[in-house]
Amino acid sequence: MFLRSQTAVKPEVASDSNGSQSAGPTEIELDLAHLPRHIAIIMDGNRRWAKEKGWLAIRGHTIGADTTQNIIQECVDLGLHALTLYTFSTENWKRSHAEVSGLMRLITKQLKDQLPRMQRNNVQIRHIGRRDGLPDYLLRQLDECTNSTRRNTGLVLNLALNYGGRAEIADAFKNLITRVQDGLLRIEEVTEEAISRALYTGDLPEPDLMIRTGGEMRISNFLPWQIAYAELWITNTLWPEFAPKELRRAIHDFQVRERRVGA
Catalytic residue numbers read 44, 92
Question: Can you give the chain as a three-state secondary structure string?
Answer: CCCCCCECCCCCEEECCCCCEEECHHHCCCCCCCCCCEEEEECCCHHHHHHHCCCCHHHHHHHHHHHHHHHHHHHHHHCCCEEEEEEEEHHHHHCCHHHHHHHHHHHHHHHHHHHHHHHHCCCEEEEECCCCCCCHHHHHHHHHHHHHHCCCCCCEEEEEEEECHHHHHHHHHHHHHHHHHCCCCCHHHCCHHHHHHHCCCCCCCCCCEEEECCCCCCCCCCCCCCCCCCEEEECCCCHHHCCHHHHHHHHHHHHHCCCCCCC
Contact 46, 240 (CB under 8 A): yes
Backbone angles phi, psi at 57, to 5 degrees: -55, -35
Contact 119, 157 (CB under 8 A): no
In whole angstroms, give the CA distance from residue 62 to residue 106: 7
